[in-house]
Amino acid sequence: MPKSEFARGTVRFDGVDYGATDLTIDETWTEIDVTDTESTLQESEFLGGRRSYNISFTTFKNAGTADLAMNDGKTAIITVLDSAATFTTYTGTLILLTKNITGTIDDAVKVSYSGRVTGALTEAQG
């Protein structure tokens, strides 16, 4: 499988674009335990469950500007771009649940956000 570098990441949240310095999208599926007295002795039986997505990203904090809305579902379009301008976008409704602001001397102030997608997360390539 060909590899590509993370040249640029953009998070469009509630219609506004933000440059991302790092980005994580975790896809998790739950399982449903259907083990009963008819199951093979000492064996468990499972069905596939529901899918959920956790998303985290870091952006720079601009003094005098409001932070992103928390605990409210907003449309998010996440774009990952490589140096050849090949991209993948992920679109869904994102609820931001945590925010961490960090800053040190001789470095930019950064804001890290994490949250969950409610409903589907649609992927497209270009």
Which is more confidently placed, 33 or 83?
33
Residue 20 β-bridge partners: 9
pLDDT at 2 (0 to 100)? 65
Residue that has been written with the tokens 């994580």 in this structure: 24
Beta strands, E only, the chain: 8-13, 16-20, 22-33, 46-60, 74-81, 87-102, 110-125
Residue 68: which domain range?
A: 9-33+45-125
More confident of the two residues 82 and 46:
46
Tokens encoding 65: 């500007």
% of the chain residues with pLDDT over 70: 95
* Residue 1 counted as domain residue: no
Domain count, the chain: 1
> Has residue 2 been placed in a domain?
no
> Quick check: is 60 in a domain?
yes
> What digits encode the pLDDT tens for the residues 20-51?
989 999 999 999 999 998 888 889 999 999 99
Backbone angles phi, psi at 50, to 5 degrees: -100, 155
User: What's 80's domain CATH number?
Assistant: 2.40.30
Q: Is residue 83 a part of any domain in this protein?
A: yes
